[in-house]
Amino acid sequence: MPMASVLGDLHDGQTVTDIPTSKSRRVLLKIDLVVMPLIVVSMTLAFLDKNGLAYAAIYGLRTDTHLVGQQYSWLGSIFYFGYLAMEFPNLWLISKNTHRYLYGHLSLLPCLLLVNTRWYRREEQPLRTAFWYNTFAGVFGGILSYAIGHINGSLPTWKYIFLIYGAVTMLVGIVVIFALPDRPRNGVPMPALGRVVADRHGRGDYSGVYIMGSCNAPWVLALSLQTSSTGGTTKKSFFLYPWLYSLVTVGNIIGPQFFLQTQAPHYPLGIGAMLCCFAIMTVAGAAYFVACFVSNQYRDQVHGTIEPWSERRVTAGLEADLEDLTDREDHNFRYIY
């Protein structure tokens, strides 16, 4: 879409920066009401499905299937070999704007990262990422498994966990295909000016904060910061997502193997590995902060500073998006830290 047609949706000589804050907030609320419930429910079901293996073990999975030694750990790891094998086909399809139709567990994470960048400004993404990459499954997983455990049926209880979660996930997947819009200018009911405001929601340049608190908090922020600090859809699809996707998959394959059955119930090797990862995470967060700070200072000195909501910044952001410029090619780009 030409730049003129995007800005042409503005009325009576308005510029992008003339749009009132109240209008922007109303559009953001509409986006949240349409997009967030769908992606939060999708990721919650994905986590319930993943956590279901642990609850299934409590209800007799190990004994019924005669698992011994590290076989249960491999049950948690083996899924991710398929995850890894389908990585590049999935990412190629996602780049073709078919992410609604790839809402399976194998491609859910990169799909939701793409949804984040298409619908929300960079300073809005960490909070939304925290919602969809959520702990709701951890909160409700035990309660739901307890309720399922009281089903008096002909099947073992652990089978009902997978059957129920699987059936609900399939139903939600069908709903998502029809209900989740691909991009701001396609799906949420709003006037032309509102669509321009919605399109703006990926262009902000405010700074976030990298908080090292617990395991989940930095992971959620890291997901958001990586998408926010990478410019260009092509670069995200064929560079950022493959790296991120591969590392997450390898980590999920290797992780369970540190918890040796011979070390139950204290698992010193597994706990030690987690502590080591926390230490590496802290150092990596500090290095990320320094790298972004130095790069932004250099860009300000060479190309000049730009106010986040100046007409120049917003227009340049729209043009960079339309031309698919990477963060290295777009001199107006500033990294989030």
Which is more confident, 10 or 174?
A: 174
Report the sign of the C-alpha dihedral through residues 220, 322, 231, 308, in that order: negative
Residues 26-54, mean pLDDT to the nearest whole number? 86
DSSP string covering 126-192, please? HHHHHHHS-SHHHHHHHHHHHHHTT---SS-HHHHHHHHHHHHHHHHHHHHHHHS-SSTTTSS---H
Output the CA angle 321-130-188, nearest 5 degrees.
Answer: 50
Report the sign of the C-alpha dihedral through residues 281, 287, 289, 292, in that order: negative
Residue 203 binned pLDDT confidence (cut-offs 50, 70, 90):
very low
Instruction: Look at residue 318 in the predicted model and tell me its pLDDT.
Output: 67
Residue 119 binned pLDDT confidence (cut-offs 50, 70, 90):
confident
Between CA 111 and CA 67 the distance in angstroms is 34
Which is more confident, 6 or 66?
A: 66
Between CA 161 and CA 110 the distance in angstroms is 26
Residues 254-268, mean pLDDT to the nearest whole number? 85
Which tokens go with 53? 């293996």
Dump pLDDT digits (tens) for 48-89: 888 888 889 889 898 899 988 888 888 888 878 877 777 677
Between CA 160 and CA 169 the distance in angstroms is 14
CA distances (Å), origin 277, targets 273, 281, 283: 6, 6, 10
What residue spans define the domains of the chain? 3-323
Cα 251 off chain centre by: 17
Between CA 2 and CA 5 the distance in angstroms is 5
DSSP label at 104? S
Say whether pLDDT at 16 is over 80: no
Most trustworthy range by pLDDT among 23-32, 108-117, 156-165, 230-239: 156-165
Residues 92-97, mean pLDDT to the nearest whole number? 64
Residues 222-240, mean pLDDT to the nearest whole number? 72
Which is more confident, 208 or 97?
A: 97
CB 104 within 8 A of CB 45: no
Phi, psi of 214 (to 5 degrees): -120, -175
User: Under 8 Å CB-to-CB from 11, ≥6 apart: which residues?
Assistant: 192, 193
User: Under 8 Å CB-to-CB from 141, ≥6 apart: which residues?
Assistant: 47, 48, 51, 52, 55
Residues 245-268, mean pLDDT to the nearest whole number? 84
Say whether pLDDT at 197 is over 60: no
Residue 290 binned pLDDT confidence (cut-offs 50, 70, 90):
very high
